[in-house]
Amino acid sequence: MAIKTVFTTGEAAKICKVSQQTIIRCFDTGQLKGFRVPGSRFRRIPRDQLFIFMRENGIPTDALESGKRKILLVDDDVDIVSLIEDVLNRDGRFEVRAVNNGFDAGMMVKEYHPDLIVLDVMLPDINGKEVCQRVRSNKSMDDVRIICISGMVEEYKIKDLLESGANDFMQKPFDVDKLLEKICSHLDMESLRR
């Protein structure tokens, strides 16, 4: 299993449950060791340095231990869910949970706090737009990324979803590897080309 060895400031912030500004400040003052990506302003923090920083500051290191990004799949189509789960599990960097309706999605988002939601727009109970709005109305969910998937293609509906808080949209049927690439890019992860 590929364990992440280098983190962005955003990822480090999430693992330490502090703001990204705090991580940047600690990096810039040298409390948190790391390096800058040559030719850019991006800061990167090696896993071992983040571990030391967390221990020194009394931050529980279990989030670093698992190191997996949490994905919530919301779709009532069992085949699609198992297809996506399969690809994410094979990748090895994700922890995946799945629910098949909007109500459960709402409950699960609160307790599981996923990094990213893959959301089918046409759910049996409430539509995806409503799920987006509910997630976005909760301040503690600001960092949750949402990729909507649907067979519908009306431009105005897609625009509507994006305005309701979705970060991206994919039309069904889609290539699961493409979805994985999108997930990686939204979570600022390297995409592992097989």
CB 128 within 8 A of CB 136: no
Does the pLDDT at position 193 exceed 60? no
Euclidean distance between the first and final Cα of the chain, in Å?
14
Does the pLDDT at position 107 exceed 60? yes
Q: What is the dihedral of CA 117, 121, 122, 125, to 10 degrees?
A: 60
**Higher-pLDDT residue of 120, 188:** 120
Question: What's the whole-number average pLDDT of the chain?
Answer: 88
Does the pLDDT at position 162 exceed 90? yes
Q: What is the pTM of this model?
A: 0.68
Q: What is the dihedral of CA 25, 60, 95, 185, to 10 degrees?
A: 10
